[in-house]
Protein backbone atom coordinates (compact mmCIF):
# COMPACT_ATOMS: atom_id res chain seq x y z
CA UNK A 1 0.00 0.00 0.00
CA UNK A 2 1.47 3.31 -1.07
CA UNK A 3 0.02 6.63 0.05
CA UNK A 4 1.72 9.69 -1.35
CA UNK A 5 1.02 13.39 -1.24
CA UNK A 6 3.71 15.32 -3.06
CA UNK A 7 4.25 19.03 -3.65
CA UNK A 8 7.18 20.49 -5.48
CA UNK A 9 7.94 23.48 -7.66
CA UNK A 10 9.72 22.29 -10.77
CA UNK A 11 11.61 24.52 -13.17
CA UNK A 12 10.74 23.45 -16.70
CA UNK A 13 11.44 24.83 -20.15
CA UNK A 14 8.16 26.79 -19.96
CA UNK A 15 8.87 28.34 -16.57
CA UNK A 16 7.86 27.12 -13.15
CA UNK A 17 5.37 24.30 -12.69
CA UNK A 18 3.77 23.18 -9.48
CA UNK A 19 3.79 19.42 -9.01
CA UNK A 20 0.82 18.47 -6.87
CA UNK A 21 0.22 14.73 -6.84
CA UNK A 22 -1.81 12.43 -4.61
CA UNK A 23 -1.48 8.70 -5.10
CA UNK A 24 -3.18 5.82 -3.36
CA UNK A 25 -1.97 2.48 -4.60
CA UNK A 26 -3.02 -0.93 -3.32
CA UNK A 27 -0.53 -3.66 -2.62
CA UNK A 28 0.14 -5.75 -5.72
CA UNK A 29 -1.40 -3.24 -8.10
CA UNK A 30 0.10 -2.32 -11.45
CA UNK A 31 -0.25 1.40 -11.87
CA UNK A 32 0.71 3.65 -14.76
CA UNK A 33 1.49 7.33 -14.73
CA UNK A 34 0.41 8.70 -18.10
CA UNK A 35 0.75 12.15 -19.60
CA UNK A 36 2.58 14.25 -22.12
CA UNK A 37 6.29 15.06 -21.76
CA UNK A 38 6.91 17.52 -18.97
CA UNK A 39 3.69 16.66 -17.14
CA UNK A 40 5.69 15.56 -14.11
CA UNK A 41 5.62 11.76 -14.46
CA UNK A 42 9.34 11.15 -14.08
CA UNK A 43 9.65 13.75 -11.31
CA UNK A 44 6.91 11.96 -9.36
CA UNK A 45 8.75 8.68 -9.76
CA UNK A 46 12.04 10.24 -8.70
CA UNK A 47 10.47 11.75 -5.59
CA UNK A 48 9.02 8.34 -4.70
CA UNK A 49 12.51 6.86 -5.08
CA UNK A 50 14.14 9.61 -3.03
CA UNK A 51 16.29 10.76 -5.95
CA UNK A 52 14.55 14.13 -5.94
CA UNK A 53 13.44 15.95 -2.82
CA UNK A 54 9.90 17.20 -2.39
CA UNK A 55 9.19 20.71 -1.09
CA UNK A 56 6.35 19.41 1.04
CA UNK A 57 4.63 16.11 1.36
CA UNK A 58 4.27 12.69 2.80
CA UNK A 59 4.98 9.22 1.48
CA UNK A 60 3.94 6.13 3.39
CA UNK A 61 4.56 2.60 2.19
CA UNK A 62 3.06 -0.30 4.16
CA UNK A 63 2.85 1.82 7.33
CA UNK A 64 6.48 2.93 7.07
CA UNK A 65 6.92 6.66 6.63
CA UNK A 66 9.46 7.33 3.88
CA UNK A 67 8.91 11.03 3.75
CA UNK A 68 7.21 13.50 6.02
CA UNK A 69 8.37 17.06 5.56
CA UNK A 70 6.53 18.21 8.69
CA UNK A 71 8.18 15.63 10.92
CA UNK A 72 11.45 16.01 8.97
CA UNK A 73 11.59 12.37 8.01
CA UNK A 74 13.26 11.70 4.68
CA UNK A 75 14.59 8.26 3.84
CA UNK A 76 17.55 8.14 1.47
CA UNK A 77 17.19 6.12 -1.76
CA UNK A 78 19.35 3.46 -0.08
CA UNK A 79 16.91 3.09 2.83
CA UNK A 80 13.75 2.96 0.73
CA UNK A 81 14.61 -0.38 -0.82
CA UNK A 82 12.85 -0.09 -4.14
CA UNK A 83 13.49 -1.46 -7.59
CA UNK A 84 14.05 1.27 -10.14
CA UNK A 85 14.56 0.84 -13.87
CA UNK A 86 16.00 3.90 -15.56
CA UNK A 87 15.10 5.13 -19.00
CA UNK A 88 18.73 4.76 -20.13
CA UNK A 89 19.05 1.41 -18.26
CA UNK A 90 22.03 2.74 -16.22
CA UNK A 91 23.92 -0.54 -16.36
CA UNK A 92 27.46 -0.35 -15.01
CA UNK A 93 29.72 -0.54 -18.09
CA UNK A 94 32.68 -1.95 -16.14
CA UNK A 95 30.79 -5.05 -14.98
CA UNK A 96 29.45 -8.08 -16.82
CA UNK A 97 25.74 -8.90 -16.76
CA UNK A 98 26.21 -11.23 -13.81
CA UNK A 99 28.42 -8.75 -11.94
CA UNK A 100 25.82 -6.03 -12.46
CA UNK A 101 23.32 -8.24 -10.69
CA UNK A 102 25.75 -9.33 -7.97
CA UNK A 103 26.61 -5.71 -7.23
CA UNK A 104 23.05 -5.22 -6.06
CA UNK A 105 23.24 -8.00 -3.45
CA UNK A 106 22.95 -6.92 0.15
CA UNK A 107 25.52 -7.98 2.72
CA UNK A 108 24.99 -11.64 3.52
CA UNK A 109 22.15 -12.05 1.05
CA UNK A 110 21.65 -15.49 -0.46
CA UNK A 111 23.21 -15.57 -3.93
CA UNK A 112 20.61 -17.95 -5.35
CA UNK A 113 18.40 -14.99 -6.30
CA UNK A 114 20.91 -14.11 -9.04
CA UNK A 115 20.54 -17.50 -10.73
CA UNK A 116 16.76 -17.30 -10.38
CA UNK A 117 16.52 -13.85 -11.98
CA UNK A 118 18.94 -14.73 -14.78
CA UNK A 119 16.70 -17.68 -15.60
CA UNK A 120 13.48 -15.67 -15.44
CA UNK A 121 14.65 -12.98 -17.85
CA UNK A 122 16.55 -15.56 -19.95
CA UNK A 123 20.02 -14.10 -19.75
CA UNK A 124 21.99 -17.27 -19.06
CA UNK A 125 23.94 -17.14 -22.33
CA UNK A 126 24.74 -13.46 -21.94
CA UNK A 127 25.79 -13.50 -18.29
CA UNK A 128 29.49 -12.94 -18.99
CA UNK A 129 29.02 -10.21 -21.57
CA UNK A 130 29.53 -6.51 -20.89
CA UNK A 131 26.45 -4.27 -21.25
CA UNK A 132 27.96 -2.42 -24.22
CA UNK A 133 27.80 -5.57 -26.34
CA UNK A 134 24.08 -6.16 -25.72
CA UNK A 135 21.06 -4.96 -27.68
CA UNK A 136 18.60 -2.48 -26.17
CA UNK A 137 16.11 -5.17 -25.25
CA UNK A 138 18.78 -7.34 -23.64
CA UNK A 139 20.11 -4.39 -21.64
CA UNK A 140 16.59 -3.65 -20.47
CA UNK A 141 16.18 -7.21 -19.21
CA UNK A 142 19.44 -6.90 -17.26
CA UNK A 143 18.22 -3.61 -15.76
CA UNK A 144 14.92 -5.23 -14.79
CA UNK A 145 16.64 -8.23 -13.21
CA UNK A 146 19.13 -6.03 -11.37
CA UNK A 147 16.31 -3.93 -9.91
CA UNK A 148 14.81 -7.06 -8.37
CA UNK A 149 17.92 -8.53 -6.70
CA UNK A 150 17.22 -6.89 -3.34
CA UNK A 151 13.67 -8.28 -3.45
CA UNK A 152 11.97 -4.92 -3.30
CA UNK A 153 8.24 -4.68 -2.70
CA UNK A 154 7.89 -1.67 -4.98
CA UNK A 155 9.11 -1.54 -8.58
CA UNK A 156 9.37 1.81 -10.38
CA UNK A 157 9.78 1.82 -14.15
CA UNK A 158 10.65 5.07 -15.92
CA UNK A 159 9.58 4.66 -19.56
CA UNK A 160 11.62 1.48 -19.75
CA UNK A 161 10.44 0.46 -23.20
CA UNK A 162 10.40 3.76 -25.06
CA UNK A 163 13.63 3.07 -26.96
CA UNK A 164 12.63 -0.38 -28.22
CA UNK A 165 10.84 -1.58 -31.35
CA UNK A 166 7.36 -3.02 -31.20
CA UNK A 167 8.24 -6.73 -31.12
CA UNK A 168 10.82 -6.20 -28.40
CA UNK A 169 8.36 -4.07 -26.45
CA UNK A 170 5.72 -6.78 -26.45
CA UNK A 171 8.25 -9.32 -25.20
CA UNK A 172 9.50 -7.06 -22.44
CA UNK A 173 5.98 -6.20 -21.38
CA UNK A 174 5.50 -9.91 -20.82
CA UNK A 175 8.70 -10.12 -18.77
CA UNK A 176 7.59 -7.20 -16.64
CA UNK A 177 4.15 -8.70 -16.05
CA UNK A 178 5.79 -12.01 -15.21
CA UNK A 179 8.03 -10.59 -12.50
CA UNK A 180 5.21 -8.36 -11.26
CA UNK A 181 3.13 -11.45 -10.53
CA UNK A 182 5.94 -13.77 -9.52
CA UNK A 183 7.36 -11.43 -6.87
CA UNK A 184 4.00 -9.90 -5.86
CA UNK A 185 5.28 -6.43 -6.61
CA UNK A 186 3.52 -3.13 -6.47
CA UNK A 187 4.59 -1.64 -9.76
CA UNK A 188 4.47 1.94 -10.98
CA UNK A 189 5.17 2.46 -14.67
CA UNK A 190 5.71 5.71 -16.51
CA UNK A 191 4.49 5.34 -20.07
CA UNK A 192 2.72 7.17 -22.83
CA UNK A 193 1.95 4.18 -24.99
CA UNK A 194 -1.78 3.57 -24.65
CA UNK A 195 -1.62 0.01 -25.93
CA UNK A 196 1.03 -0.81 -23.37
CA UNK A 197 -0.97 0.80 -20.59
CA UNK A 198 -4.17 -1.07 -21.37
CA UNK A 199 -2.29 -4.35 -21.61
CA UNK A 200 -0.43 -3.96 -18.36
CA UNK A 201 -2.06 -1.75 -15.79
CA UNK A 202 -4.89 -2.10 -13.31
CA UNK A 203 -5.08 1.60 -12.73
CA UNK A 204 -3.90 4.73 -14.43
CA UNK A 205 -3.21 8.26 -13.28
CA UNK A 206 -3.34 10.86 -16.07
CA UNK A 207 -1.04 13.76 -15.31
CA UNK A 208 -1.36 17.19 -16.81
CA UNK A 209 0.80 20.17 -15.87
CA UNK A 210 1.84 18.56 -12.61
CA UNK A 211 -1.67 17.66 -11.47
CA UNK A 212 -3.70 14.48 -11.66
CA UNK A 213 -6.31 15.06 -14.30
CA UNK A 214 -8.05 11.68 -14.27
CA UNK A 215 -7.58 8.37 -12.53
CA UNK A 216 -9.15 4.96 -12.85
CA UNK A 217 -9.34 1.90 -15.03
CA UNK A 218 -7.31 2.41 -18.23
CA UNK A 219 -9.93 1.16 -20.71
CA UNK A 220 -12.70 3.33 -19.31
CA UNK A 221 -10.41 6.35 -19.26
CA UNK A 222 -9.19 5.99 -22.83
CA UNK A 223 -12.55 5.11 -24.34
CA UNK A 224 -14.69 7.41 -22.18
CA UNK A 225 -17.01 4.51 -21.42
CA UNK A 226 -18.82 4.93 -24.71
CA UNK A 227 -18.13 1.40 -25.86
CA UNK A 228 -19.08 -1.93 -24.50
CA UNK A 229 -17.21 -3.79 -27.19
CA UNK A 230 -16.90 -7.53 -27.19
CA UNK A 231 -13.32 -7.34 -28.36
CA UNK A 232 -11.07 -4.39 -28.83
CA UNK A 233 -7.55 -3.42 -29.69
CA UNK A 234 -5.66 -0.20 -29.48
CA UNK A 235 -3.58 1.07 -32.32
CA UNK A 236 -2.25 4.07 -34.13
CA UNK A 237 -3.72 5.70 -37.24
CA UNK A 238 -1.18 5.63 -40.05
CA UNK A 239 -3.35 6.70 -43.01
CA UNK A 240 -6.84 8.00 -43.82
CA UNK A 241 -8.11 7.74 -47.39
CA UNK A 242 -11.46 8.67 -48.93
CA UNK A 243 -13.11 6.02 -51.13
CA UNK A 244 -16.39 7.15 -52.71
CA UNK A 245 -18.66 7.87 -49.76
CA UNK A 246 -16.69 6.15 -47.01
CA UNK A 247 -13.21 6.52 -45.57
CA UNK A 248 -10.57 3.82 -45.18
CA UNK A 249 -8.58 4.24 -42.01
CA UNK A 250 -5.35 2.27 -41.81
CA UNK A 251 -4.48 1.38 -38.23
CA UNK A 252 -1.30 -0.15 -36.87
CA UNK A 253 -2.13 -2.62 -34.08
CA UNK A 254 0.99 -4.15 -32.62
CA UNK A 255 2.83 -4.83 -35.83
CA UNK A 256 -0.22 -5.67 -37.90
CA UNK A 257 -1.67 -3.17 -40.32
CA UNK A 258 -5.48 -3.19 -40.33
CA UNK A 259 -7.86 -1.33 -42.67
CA UNK A 260 -11.13 -0.15 -41.24
CA UNK A 261 -14.09 1.46 -42.96
CA UNK A 262 -15.29 4.62 -41.28
CA UNK A 263 -17.99 7.23 -41.77
CA UNK A 264 -17.20 10.87 -42.19
CA UNK A 265 -18.50 11.61 -38.68
CA UNK A 266 -16.03 9.14 -37.19
CA UNK A 267 -12.93 10.54 -38.82
CA UNK A 268 -13.73 14.17 -38.24
CA UNK A 269 -11.42 14.46 -35.23
CA UNK A 270 -8.99 11.84 -36.39
CA UNK A 271 -5.49 12.55 -37.63
CA UNK A 272 -2.44 10.52 -38.52
CA UNK A 273 -0.60 9.41 -35.40
CA UNK A 274 -3.72 9.40 -33.20
CA UNK A 275 -4.28 6.48 -30.84
CA UNK A 276 -7.54 4.67 -31.45
CA UNK A 277 -9.48 1.72 -30.12
CA UNK A 278 -10.71 -0.73 -32.73
CA UNK A 279 -13.70 -2.61 -31.36
CA UNK A 280 -16.57 -4.62 -32.68
CA UNK A 281 -20.04 -4.40 -31.22
CA UNK A 282 -22.81 -5.67 -33.41
CA UNK A 283 -21.05 -8.36 -35.39
CA UNK A 284 -19.57 -11.55 -34.21
CA UNK A 285 -15.88 -11.74 -34.95
CA UNK A 286 -14.84 -14.65 -37.14
CA UNK A 287 -12.25 -17.07 -35.80
CA UNK A 288 -10.07 -19.02 -38.21
CA UNK A 289 -7.51 -21.55 -37.19
CA UNK A 290 -4.14 -20.67 -38.68
CA UNK A 291 -1.93 -23.30 -37.12
CA UNK A 292 -0.95 -25.03 -33.96
Partner 1 sequence: MIDWAPIILTAKLALVTTIILLVVSIPLAYWLAHSKSRIKPVIETLVSMPLVLPPTVLGFYLLMTFSPGNTFGSWLQDWFGIRLIFSFSGLVIGSVIYSLPFMVNPIQSGLASLPASLTEASYVLGKSKMKTLFKVLLPNIKPSLLTGIVLAFAHTVGEFGVVLMIGGNIPEKTKVVSIAIYDEVEALNYSNANTYSLILFIITFVVLLSVYLINGGYLKRFWK
Residues that bind partner 1 (CB under 8 A): 49, 51, 76-78, 80-84, 86-88, 90-94, 103-104, 106, 146-147, 149-150
What is the smallest separation between the CB atom of 106 and partner 1, expressed in angstroms?
6
Kindly tell me which of 121 and 198 has the beta carbon lying closer to partner 1. 121
| Cα–Cα distance for residue pair 292/272, rounded to 1 Å | 36
Q: Coil, strand or helix: which one is 134?
A: coil
Using the 8-state DSSP alphabet, how is residue 286 labeled?
A: P
**CB 132 → partner 1: shortest distance, Å?**
11
Please tell me the distance from the alpha carbon of residue 220 to that of residue 257, in angstroms, as a whole number: 25
Closer CB to partner 1, residue 134 or residue 212? 134
- Which residue lies nearer to partner 1 by CB, 21 or 147? 147
- Under 8 Å CB-to-CB from 51, ≥6 apart: which residues? 77, 84
Q: What is the smallest separation between the CB atom of 190 and partner 1, expressed in angstroms?
A: 14
Other beta carbons within 10 Å of 280: 13
Tell me which residue of 242, 289, 282, 281 sits closest to 262, measured CA to CA.
Answer: 242
Least spacing, CB of residue 181 vs partner 1, in Å: 22
Looking at the Cβ atoms of 147 and 276, the one nearer to partner 1 is: 147
**Strands ordered across the beta sheet of 2-12:** 73-74, 64-68, 56-61, 2-12, 15-25, 211-216, 203-208, 30-34, 186-190, 154-158, 83-85
Q: What's the closest the beta carbon of residue 255 comes to partner 1, in angstroms?
A: 30
User: Nearer Cβ to partner 1, position 52 or 258?
Assistant: 52
What span, in angstroms and rounded, lies between the C-alpha atoms of 174 and 228? 26
CB of 92 to partner 1, least distance (A): 5
Q: Which is nearer to partner 1, 80 or 180 (CB)?
A: 80
Beta strands across the sheet bearing 275-280: 256-262, 246-253, 231-243, 275-280
CB of 50 to partner 1, least distance (A): 8
CA distance linking residue 252 with residue 234, whole number of Å: 9
Q: Between residues 128 and 269, which has the closer beta carbon with respect to partner 1?
A: 128
- CA dist 185 and 178 (Å) reads 10
Amino acid sequence: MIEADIHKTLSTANGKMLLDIQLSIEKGEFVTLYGSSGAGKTSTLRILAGLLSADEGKIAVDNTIWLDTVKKINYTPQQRKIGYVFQDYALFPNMTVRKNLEFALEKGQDKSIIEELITIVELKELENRKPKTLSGGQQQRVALARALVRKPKVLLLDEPLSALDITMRAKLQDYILKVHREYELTTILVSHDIGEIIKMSDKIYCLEDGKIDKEGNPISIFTNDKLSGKFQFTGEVIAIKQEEVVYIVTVLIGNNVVKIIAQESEIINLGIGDKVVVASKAFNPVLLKIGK
